[in-house]
Amino acid sequence: MLALLPAFASAQILCFATSLSAKRIRLQLALPQEGTITGFVRYEWGSSHIPLVWVSEVAVSPPPQVPAVVKTTFAEQINGKRTGQYVLTTQGASVGELAYSAQKDDKLITFYEDHDAAGGDACDWSEKRSSGAQ
């Protein structure tokens, strides 16, 4: 699917879900390729990719021998307008969380990595694969 969308070429696909609940939200995050600043998110029930533009990256210096905690911010762009932002928190190779806040109301939604849905170049949200997030 990504091959059909060269403007959204990504280096890594990560799958996320909100905590277990009746209204669980799932999304796929495509991180930008090295040397580019654009990626995208795609929601499980969404029909299109939502463009993301890299904004900043901040690393918190940890004690020696411990990987830094890195917070990477992406702006959500719909029809050329910034409509929200995503903040990805990582530490070394570990993904902590993805937080989304909408521009209109600053409501914060926290997503956790959904390892069960990881499927290579796209998230697989079929019930047999994606039984739960953290």
Q: Which tens digit of pLDDT belongs to each residue from 34-48? A: 878 899 999 998 878
**CA 134 to chain centroid:** 15
Residue 133 domain-assigned (yes or no): no
Range of the domain at 17: 7-117
Whole-angstrom CA distances from 23 to 14, 18, 107, 128 are: 20, 9, 16, 18
- DSSP reduced 3-state for 117: helix
Residue 98 domain-assigned (yes or no): yes
Residue 130 domain-assigned (yes or no): no
**Predicted local distance difference test score (pLDDT) of residue 126:** 82
Residue 87 domain-assigned (yes or no): yes
Residue 127 domain-assigned (yes or no): no
User: pLDDT tens-digit profile of 85-116?
Assistant: 999 999 988 999 999 999 899 789 999 999 88
